[in-house]
């Protein structure tokens, strides 16, 4: 069971949410434009944060700019609330903003995530903030940012189509099992961040607002609610979400995304839900009728 | 000089969140919880959005006269600019020709301006039918006091996407977001 | 019933306690004061100050103490602090020709106006460990005979070459320089932006790139026109005053590297300049920076740009050690969700591979 923890007292000597007001305004302006141009990467003046680049500075800056005193914040990494980076970020915001935190997807107004979309569907008004290591979906094919910017301007995504097709020719299926690129509102090719392809379909026509922050690369982008998001595929090779073909050993779910856990050194393993809140909200197997 | 937000940090945050919500759900009428007292003809909603988002980095155009100019400059520090060079425009009456405003480029469409447009009333009733990202099916919106020919003039920019203009309708302390992706159909 | 690994909160608490203990070390020994660090580990302080992009020796010393002497971690601490500071105004360009010189050398001239001033340098020392320093309570070294020169204006060596028309002029500009602390990098990056990024870039990275230009990756033919180090005046001009006021002095290191230029149909053969300026005493970095600056000018000088050091995107996107260390080290974070996908993927592909080869 998860419950919302009470609001702590914010840290003295820092502005609400850590960032100064001018920086927040700059990030907010970028966020608003990102919402108006779904899937387009908006450059922004990302600042150094007290956490290192690559550990969620983009997501933290977005959350800091969005967060208000009445928000309830949930932070997950790998789907779980108790992973070290999630604990560290949640603690950061409870210190610098004094906001209430929760592990419950349903109770949260803002959810900052790394690598997963919660199993519980979002509702209107909820905001999902993704930490993004590399916002440019074309970077492996075209590392020069000036060039990839042109390709986005022209909506020229032939490079990616060719790459996916070559995967299929070589290994019989698309090679990306996570961070599988999506087309947003039929216009922009977008990186969904390194979420498993299993989560991609959740982005389509989601009732919640999805915001993406890349701190080191200094880009912000967004998918508004109820927006068309399609995983790139081919008619004869439709997109296939990947999931371990097992049931959760704790709650028995056959729908959720599973972590594989090694239980001994003799090849023993089990599968449990990656989304700890989802798993805890379901009756455990022993209690099942 | 009338004051800005009672609590600047929280006023800016709540106004921004209202605008984020409004642009995420185009056509939906959103109330601002905390608005400043601005000199006429600057309405409370428009004043709140300007305070929340404008500063020395955002050239600002307005048509509100000297008292409004003083108030905006004092509270935001934004440099006043001609319409074509403005990042934000605060139009309390008919705005300049939309096609002449900053619309961004194909590589940097985010450089398109944000137009805050004051109208006399906003109602969730038949009038316009809106569709596009942020709208599950369609949203009905009735706008009183929109400039003549506004819908057609705005629609003409649609072919330029991703370049474009994002518009916030303001009435009293209420706002409606019209991102460049929203399609407006006028109903009879 | 298996209970999955929990307790991130407790683990972090224990780790931080252990870190605090490790930072302090043996409590039987006196604790280092930040003043001692600032005075006696001054080059480490300077490096942190330059890469932390904050000209404050006291804060840099504190960062070093907190970071257990790890300069990258210390630079990161300093950056995270400076980013929260309000900005009151913009300094005028500093005038290095009016520097209070601690060191000034040229390798292109045996002697030159103002003379060669070696200053406090490791150059020409024999690199032998001095075990005398192990002892405590040493007597203070005698005052240096070559006292700090309070020289007047010392013209730059490159200005001497320019008088003869041998040095391509670097035109002064009143254009507002870009500000990488406020705006993301944008390309094409002009020279002001490139120099700004390198001035707080990682010393090691710039050193390696500079070295690569000397080994054929970038076709450099450099000479040290001049290295100078000393104190320059920092002035601001508040709009309400309308004149400049002195807000203090800072130590800087400057290097002007002289390079050949073959000339084009439009421009005669002449020397061109690579420039490096670093806050504090750090001439190694100023030199490396000047090599890379010159390499990055290849397109404007009509040279083929084929080497890493000639690619503005390659250099500027990777020179920042706060960005680099964060992303490299983020690989320590759990990635098991994605790895799970990879497991399923490779099993499927292997199954197909074996099935296709089954007799």
Domains of chain A, by residue range, sit at 21-137+179-231, 243-284
CB distance B118 to B43 below 8 Å: yes
Tell me: do C192 and C310 sit in the same domain: yes
Q: Which residues of A touch B9 (CB under 8 A)?
A: 15-16, 21
Whole-number Å distance between alpha carbons of A31 and A25: 10
pLDDT attached to residue A247 = 96
Q: Which two tokens stand for residue B3?
A: 């004051």
- Domain total in chain B: 1
Distance from the Cα of residue C314 to its chain's centroid:
16
pLDDT attached to residue A288 = 46
| R_g (Cα) of chain B, nearest Å | 15
Distance from CA of A83 to the nearest CA of B (A): 29
The set of residues, in sequence order, having a beta carbon less than 8 Å from that of A288 and lying 6+ positions away, is A252
Indicate yes or no: CB of C340 within 8 angstroms of CB of A263: no
Tell me: do C205 and C62 sit in the same domain: no
C66 lies in a domain?
Answer: yes
Whole-number Å distance between alpha carbons of A209 and A214: 17
Distance from CA of A184 to the nearest CA of C (A): 22
Per the document, the length of chain A is 289
Whole-number Å distance between alpha carbons of C257 and C170: 13
Tens of pLDDT along A231-247?
Answer: 999 888 889 888 999 99
| Interstrand relation of A72-77 and A110-114 (parallel, antiparallel or unpaired) | parallel
Give the neighbor-by-neighbor strand order of the sheet with A182-184: A188-190, A182-184, A229-231
Mean pLDDT confidence for C89-102: 90
| Residue with tokens 């073909």, as numbered in its chain | A245
Query: Helices then strands (H, E): number in chain A?
Result: 7, 12
C103 lies in a domain?
Answer: yes
Percentage, residues of chain A above pLDDT 90:
72
Give me the residue from C313, C322, C330 closest to A48, CB to CB.
Answer: C322
- Per-residue confidence at C20, pLDDT binned at 50, 70, 90? very high
Taking chain B, what is the end-to-end CA distance rounded to the nearest angstrom? 45
Whole-number Å distance between alpha carbons of C26 and C169: 57
Q: Which residues of A touch C348 (CB under 8 A)?
A: 173
The set of residues, in sequence order, having a beta carbon less than 8 Å from that of C359 and lying 6+ positions away, is none
The ipTM, to two decimals, is 0.98
B184 lies in a domain?
Answer: no
- A interface mutation test: which of C333, C335, C339, C353 has the most A CBs within 10 A? C333
C54 lies in a domain?
Answer: yes
pLDDT attached to residue B94 = 96
B156 lies in a domain?
Answer: yes
- Residue C164 predicted with pLDDT over 80: no
Whole-number Å distance between alpha carbons of C188 and C295: 15
- The CATH class that applies to domain A21-137+179-231 reads alpha beta
- Residue C148 predicted with pLDDT over 60: no
Indicate yes or no: CB of A54 within 8 angstroms of CB of C335: no
Residue B130 belongs to domain with CATH number: 3.40.50.11310
3-state helix, strand, coil in chain C (%, to 5): 40, 15, 45
Q: Which two tokens stand for residue A16?
A: 């609400």
Whole-number Å distance between alpha carbons of A286 and C259: 77
Tens of pLDDT along B156-172?
Answer: 999 999 999 999 999 99
Q: Which residues of B touch A38 (CB under 8 A)?
A: 133, 181
Lowest-pLDDT range of A6-10, C69-73, C84-88: A6-10
User: Touching check for B11 and chain A: CB below 8 Å?
Assistant: no
Distance from CA of A280 to the nearest CA of B (A): 31
pLDDT attached to residue C5 = 52
| R_g (Cα) of chain C, nearest Å | 25
B185 lies in a domain?
Answer: no
Where in the sequence is the domain holding C32, given as residue range(s)? Answer: 12-82
Q: Which two tokens stand for residue C317?
A: 């996107």
Mean pLDDT confidence for B46-56: 98
pLDDT attached to residue C36 = 97
- Domain total in chain C: 2
Within a 10 A sphere around the Cβ of A61, how many other Cβ atoms? 30
pLDDT attached to residue C339 = 93
Nearest to A190 by CA among A153, A242, A224, A152: A152
What distances in angstroms separate CA A189 from CA A178, A241, C69, C136, one per listed residue?
15, 18, 44, 65
- Residue C112 predicted with pLDDT over 90: no
Tens of pLDDT along A91-134?
Answer: 999 988 999 999 999 999 999 999 999 999 999 999 999 999 99
C261 lies in a domain?
Answer: yes
Whole-number Å distance between alpha carbons of B3 and B50: 14
pLDDT attached to residue C146 = 58
- Residue A1 predicted with pLDDT over 50: no
C73: left (phi over 0), alpha (psi -120 to 50) or beta: alpha
B187 lies in a domain?
Answer: no
Percentage, residues of chain A above pLDDT 70:
97
CB distance C192 to C172 below 8 Å: no
Tens of pLDDT along A251-272?
Answer: 999 999 999 887 777 777 889 9
Per the document, the length of chain B is 188
| R_g (Cα) of chain A, nearest Å | 19
Whole-number Å distance between alpha carbons of C220 and A270: 59
What distances in angstroms separate CA A121 from CA A128, A201, A208, A278, C324, one per listed residue?
11, 12, 9, 10, 36
Ramachandran angles phi, psi of C194, nearest 5°: -65, -45
Whole-number Å distance between alpha carbons of C260 and A91: 56
User: Residue A108, SS3?
Assistant: coil
Nearest CA in chain B to A210: B24
- Per-residue confidence at A25, pLDDT binned at 50, 70, 90? very high
Indicate yes or no: CB of C336 within 8 angstroms of CB of A88: no
B127 lies in a domain?
Answer: yes
- Residue A287 predicted with pLDDT over 60: no
Where in the sequence is the domain holding B40, given as residue range(s)? Answer: 8-179
User: Touching check for A79 and chain C: CB below 8 Å?
Assistant: yes
Tens of pLDDT along C272-327?
Answer: 999 999 999 999 999 999 999 999 999 988 888 989 999 999 999 999 999 999 99
C5 lies in a domain?
Answer: no
Give me the residue from A82, A216, A259 closest to C337, CB to CB.
Answer: A259
CB distance A209 to A225 below 8 Å: yes
Ramachandran angles phi, psi of A150, nearest 5°: -65, -40
B152 lies in a domain?
Answer: yes
Taking chain A, what is the end-to-end CA distance rounded to the nearest angstrom? 20
Whole-number Å distance between alpha carbons of A138 and A144: 9
Give me the residue from B24, B106, B109 closest to A224, CB to CB.
Answer: B24
Per the document, the length of chain C is 359
What's chain C's average pLDDT?
Answer: 89
| Interstrand relation of A72-77 and A182-184 (parallel, antiparallel or unpaired) | unpaired
CB distance A4 to A101 below 8 Å: yes
Whether the bond into C7 is cis, omega within 30 of 0:
no
C348 lies in a domain?
Answer: no
The set of residues, in sequence order, having a beta carbon less than 8 Å from that of A127 and lying 6+ positions away, is A66, A109, A110, A111, A208, A209, A210, A211
The set of residues, in sequence order, having a beta carbon less than 8 Å from that of C140 and lying 6+ positions away, is none
C340 lies in a domain?
Answer: no
pLDDT attached to residue A65 = 97
Angle between helices C203-214 and C283-296 (to 10 degrees): 60
A–C interface: beta-carbon pairs under 8 A: 148
C152 lies in a domain?
Answer: yes
Q: Which sequence positions of A are flagged as catalytic? A: 39, 248, 251, 273, 279
Tell me: do C52 and C76 sit in the same domain: yes
Whole-number Å distance between alpha carbons of A78 and A173: 25
Indicate yes or no: CB of C343 within 8 angstroms of CB of A260: yes
Whole-number Å distance between alpha carbons of C334 and C340: 11
A–B interface: beta-carbon pairs under 8 A: 107
Whole-number Å distance between alpha carbons of B26 and B132: 8
Whole-number Å distance between alpha carbons of C254 and A83: 47
Q: Which two tokens stand for residue A161?
A: 């189509």
Q: Nearest 5 degrees, angle CA A34-CA A60-CA A139?
A: 55
What distances in angstroms separate CA C100 from CA C40, C117, C119, C149, C228, one per listed residue?
22, 12, 12, 7, 10
Distance from CA of A17 to the nearest CA of B (A): 10
């Amino acid at each position: 069971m998860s419950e919302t923890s009470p609001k702590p007292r914010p840290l003295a000597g820092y502005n609400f949410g850590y960032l100064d007001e001018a920086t927040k305004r700059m990030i907010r302006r970028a966020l608003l434009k990102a919402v108006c141009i779904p899937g387009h990467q908006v450059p922004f003046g990302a600042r150094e944060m007290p956490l290192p680049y690559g550990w969620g500075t983009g997501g933290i800056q977005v959350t800091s700019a969005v967060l208000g005193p009445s928000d309830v914040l949930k932070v997950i990494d790998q789907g779980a609330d108790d992973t070290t980076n999630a604990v560290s970020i949640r603690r950061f915001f409870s210190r610098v903003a004094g906001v209430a935190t929760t592990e419950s997807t349903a109770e949260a107004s803002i959810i900052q995530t790394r690598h997963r979309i919660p199993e519980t569907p979002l509702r209107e008004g909820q905001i999902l903030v993704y930490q993004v290591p590399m916002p440019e979906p074309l970077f492996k094919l075209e590392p020069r940012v000036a060039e990839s910017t042109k390709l986005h301007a022209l909506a020229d995504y032939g490079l990616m189509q060719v790459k996916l097709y070559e995967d299929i020719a070589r290994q019989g299926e698309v090679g990306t099992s996570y961070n599988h690129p999506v087309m947003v509102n039929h216009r922009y090719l977008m990186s969904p961040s390194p979420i498993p392809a299993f989560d991609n379909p959740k982005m389509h026509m989601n009732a919640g607002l999805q915001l993406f922050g890349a701190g080191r690369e200094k880009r912000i982008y967004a998918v508004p609610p109820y927006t068309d998001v399609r995983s790139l595929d081919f008619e004869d090779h439709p997109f296939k979400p990947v999931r371990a073909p097992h049931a959760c050993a704790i709650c028995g779910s056959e729908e959720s995304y599973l972590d594989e856990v090694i239980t001994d050194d003799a090849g023993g393993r089990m599968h449990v839900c990656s989304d700890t809140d989802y798993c805890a909200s379901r009756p455990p197997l022993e209690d099942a009728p | 000089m009338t004051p800005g937000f009672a609590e600047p940090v929280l006023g800016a945050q709540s106004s921004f969140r209202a605008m984020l919500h409004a642009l995420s759900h185009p056509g939906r009428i959103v109330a601002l919880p905390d608005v400043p007292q601005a000199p006429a003809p600057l309405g409370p909603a428009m004043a709140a959005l300007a305070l929340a988002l404008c500063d020395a980095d955002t050239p600002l155009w307005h048509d509100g006269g000297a008292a409004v100019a003083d108030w905006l400059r004092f509270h935001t520090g934004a440099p006043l600019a001609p319409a074509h060079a403005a990042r934000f425009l605060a139009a309390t009456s008919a705005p300049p020709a939309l096609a002449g405003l900053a619309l961004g480029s194909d590589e940097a469409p985010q450089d398109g301006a944000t137009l805050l447009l004051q109208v006399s009333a906003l109602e969730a009733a038949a009038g316009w039918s809106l569709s596009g990202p942020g709208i599950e099916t369609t949203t009905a919106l009735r706008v009183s006091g929109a400039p003549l020919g506004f819908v057609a003039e705005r629609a003409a920019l649609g072919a330029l996407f991703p370049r474009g203009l994002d518009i916030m309708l303001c009435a009293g302390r209420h706002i409606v977001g019209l991102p460049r992706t929203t399609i407006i159909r006028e109903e009879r | 019933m298996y209970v999955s690994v929990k307790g991130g909160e407790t683990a972090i608490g224990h780790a931080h306690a252990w870190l605090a203990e490790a930072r302090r070390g043996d409590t039987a020994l006196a604790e280092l004061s930040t003043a001692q660090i600032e005075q006696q580990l001054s080059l480490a302080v300077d490096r942190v100050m330059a890469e932390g992009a904050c000209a404050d020796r006291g804060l840099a010393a504190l960062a070093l103490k907190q970071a257990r002497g790890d300069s990258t971690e210390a630079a990161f601490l300093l950056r995270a602090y400076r980013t929260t500071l309000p900005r009151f105004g913009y300094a005028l360009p500093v005038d290095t020709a009016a520097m209070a010189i601690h060191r000034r050398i040229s390798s292109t001239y045996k002697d030159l106006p103002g003379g060669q001033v070696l200053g406090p340098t490791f150059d020409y020392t024999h690199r032998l460990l001095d075990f005398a320093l192990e002892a405590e309570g040493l007597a203070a070294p005698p005052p240096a005979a070559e006292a700090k020169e309070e020289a007047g204006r010392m013209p730059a060596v490159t200005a001497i070459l320019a008088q003869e028309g041998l040095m391509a002029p670097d035109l002064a500009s009143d254009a507002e320089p870009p500000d990488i602390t406020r705006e993301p990098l944008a390309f094409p990056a002009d020279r002001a932006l490139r120099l700004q990024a390198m001035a707080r870039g990682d010393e090691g990275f710039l050193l390696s790139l500079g070295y690569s230009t000397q080994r054929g990756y970038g076709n450099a033919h450099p000479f040290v026109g001049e290295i100078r180090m000393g104190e320059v005046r920092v002035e601001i001009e508040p709009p309400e005053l309308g004149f400049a006021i002195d807000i203090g002095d800072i130590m800087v290191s400057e290097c002007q590297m002289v390079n050949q230029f073959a000339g084009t149909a439009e421009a005669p053969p002449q020397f061109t300049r690579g420039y490096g300026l670093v806050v504090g005493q750090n001439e190694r970095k100023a030199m490396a920076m000047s090599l890379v600056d010159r390499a990055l000018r290849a397109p404007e000088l009509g040279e083929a740009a084929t080497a890493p050091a000639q690619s503005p995107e390659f250099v500027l996107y990777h020179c920042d050690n706060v960005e680099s260390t964060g992303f490299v080290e983020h690989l320590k974070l759990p990635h098991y969700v994605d790895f799970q996908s990879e497991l399923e993927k490779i099993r499927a592909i292997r199954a197909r591979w074996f099935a296709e080869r089954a007799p």
